Structure 1
Amino acid sequence: MVRILLLIFTLLLVFKASAQQEEERIFFTEALAVHLPKYEKKAKDAYFYRDFERGRELFDSLVNFQLSGSYMDNFKFFTLKGKITSLYEFKKPLYLITYATWCVTSKGEIPALNELAKKYSAQINFVVLFWDDQKAAKEAARAYNKAITVVYVDELQNKNPFVISILKHSLGLPTTFLLDGNKKILNIRRGVTHYYGKSFEESLDANYNSIYDGIANHLLGIKGYDLPASPVASN
C-alpha cells in the first residue's frame, strides 16, 4: 500500500512539474510582440545612418536575449501537392528557412544547403518555406535537393493570419530558424551576404561554413564548434 501511495505521489509531482513547464512556455509570437517595437525603432535609426554593424548587433541582441528559448507557434502551410500540414508534424530538430520567390540568393547558398541536407537529413528536418502561391513555390523548389521539404503559404488562403504576419513581416527575408524537436527556438539567423564579385567556390564555402556552424552548434549539439579557418565544402 505504501508503495502504491509513493507511486501515486511521484506521478502527481511529475504531472505538476510538466503542467508548470507547459504554463511557462512562451511562444515566438508573444516574445516578438513584446520586444519587436523597441528593436525596430533602434534598428531603423541604425540603418538610416548606415551603421550596419550596429544593426547586426541589435538583431543578435534581440535573438539571443529575447527570442531564443521561446517556442515556435504551430502554424499551418501547404505542401507542394496542396495538402495542408503544420510545423509540429516535423518531429526532428528543424532547420527552417523562410523565403519569398523574389528573394535573390547568393550563388553558393542553395548548393551549400543541398549538400548539408544530404548529409544530415536523417537527423534534421530541412524545410524551406516560401511566401507565395503553389505555382511559384513549385518552380522555386526545382533548385533544392529532395532531402529538403519545400512548402508554401499563400497569404490569400492562410489560416493563421497573425502568426503569418509576424513571421513574414517582422525580421525580414530570408530568415533561418533553428528549432529543437520540441520546436524551441535555439537560434535565428540571417543569410550570408558578400560582394557579387566573389567566385562560385568562394560563395559556396562561405555559405556552407555558415550553415554548418548553425547546424553543429545548435541542432547537432557539437559544443564549442568554431567556423574553420579554411573552407570545408566540397567543390
Structure 2
Amino acid sequence: MRKFLLLFFILAGFSGQPQAEKNDKVYFSEALSMHLPKYEEKAKDAYRFNDYKRGHFLFDSLVNNCLRNSYIDNFRFYSLKKKPVQLYQFKKPVYLITYASWCIQGKGEIPAINKLAEKYENQIDFIVLFWDSADMAKNSAKEFSKNINVVYVDERKNADPFVIKNLKHSLGLPISFLISGDRRIEDIRRSIFLPYNATAKESYDLNYESIEEGISSILITDQHKDVADISN
C-alpha cells in the first residue's frame, strides 16, 4: 500500500507539471489588457504635444517590457476564399504583417517582403493580414508573392471583435509580429517610414535588412529551443 501511494504521488507530480507550465503562460490579449490603458494615457499626452520621440520610446517600452515573450492568441482570420483560418494552423515560425488597402506602403517594402518570402519559404510562414473586405483584400493580394498567405478581417461585418480589438485597435497599423514556433512573440515592430524623397532602392534595402534581421532572430530562438529540448 505504501509503495502504491508513493507511485501515485510521483505520477501526480509529473502529470501536474505541464499544467502548471501552461497556466504560467501569459497571452498577448492578457498582456494588452493589463498594460495598454497606461500606455495609451501616456502616449496620448506625448502625441498631443508633438513629442514623437517620447511616443516612440513609450511604444518600445510597452513592447519590450510588457508584450514581448507573451504568447500570441489563436486569432481567427479569413482566407481570400472567405474560409476561417486560425493562426495556430500555421506550424512554422510566423512573420505576421497587418495592413489595410488605404495604407501606403513604403517604396520597396512589398518587393523586399516578397523576396524574403521566397528565400525563407521552408522556414517561415509569412502572413499578411488586411483590415478590409474580401474584395479589397483580394485586389491588394495581387502585389504579394504566392509564398505569402494573405488573409483578412472585415470590421464592418462586426463578427470578430476579439481579433479587431487586440490586433488593430491596440497598436495601430502597419505592425509586424515576429512569432516563434511555440507561438511566443519575439518582437513587435512598426514599419519603416522613410523620407519622402527616399529612392525605391533605399527603401528596398532598409526593409529587406530590417525584416531579415527579424526573421533571423526567430530562427535562432527556435534553434536554441530545439537544442534545449534535446538536452532535456
Q: Is the TM-score greater than 0.5?
A: yes
Task: Tell me the residue number matched to 1:188.
Answer: 188
1:156 Cα deviation (Å)?
3.7
TM-aligned CA deviation for residue 222 of structure 1: 9.5
Q: What TM-score results when the alignment is normalised by the length of structure 2? A: 0.88
CA distance in 2, matches of 1:195, 1:14: 57
SS of equivalent residue, structure 2 residue 143: coil
In the TM superposition, residue 162 of structure 1 has moved relative to its aligned partner by: 2.4
Within 5 A, what are the aligned runs for 1:66-145?
A: 66-145=66-145
Displacement of 1:103 after TM fit?
0.6
Contact preservation (8 Å) 2:75, 2:86: yes
Q: Deviations over 1:103-151 (max 9, x none)?
A: 1000111011111111111011000000111100000000001111000
Aligned to 2:21: 21
Whether the aligned pair in 2 keeps the contact of 1:178 and 1:219 (CA below 8 Å) is no
Comparing 4-13 with 195-204, which one deviates more in the overlay? 4-13
CA distance in 1, matches of 2:84, 2:219: 26
Q: Report the alpha carbon displacement of residue 174 of structure 1 after superposing the two structures with TM.
A: 0.4
For 1:19 and 1:129, the matched residues in 2 are separated by: 32
Matched with 2:45 is 45
How far apart are 1:92 and its partner, in Å?
A: 0.7
CA contact (8 A) 1:97 1:175 kept: yes
Q: Tell me the percent identity.
A: 53
Is 1:76–1:159's contact at 8 Å kept on the other side of the alignment? no
Deviates more, 1:74-83 or 1:159-168: 159-168
Shift of 1:190: 0.4
Instruction: Considering fraction of residues, name the structure with more helix.
Output: 2
Query: Structure 2: how far apart are the matches of 1:94 and 1:148?
Result: 11
Corresponding letter in the other structure for 2:184: K
Distance (Å, rounded) in 1 between the aligned partners of 2:161 and 2:222: 36
Q: 1:206 to 1:29 in 2, by over 3 A?
A: same
Q: CA deviation at 1:197?
A: 0.3
- How many residues align structurally? 222
CA RMSD of aligned residues (A): 2.3
Contact 2:76 2:163 in 1 (8 A): no
Runs (5+) with no aligned partner, structure 2? 224-232
Which residue is 1:36 aligned to? 36
| Residues in 2 aligned to 1:159 and 1:89: alpha-carbon distance in whole angstroms | 20
Query: Is the CA contact 1:76–1:158 (under 8 Å) kept in the aligned structure 2?
Result: no
Q: Does the residue aligned with 1:149 lie in a helix, a strand or coil?
A: strand
| 1:9 to partner: Cα distance | 6.4
Question: 1 CA distance for matches of 2:222 and 2:84?
Answer: 34
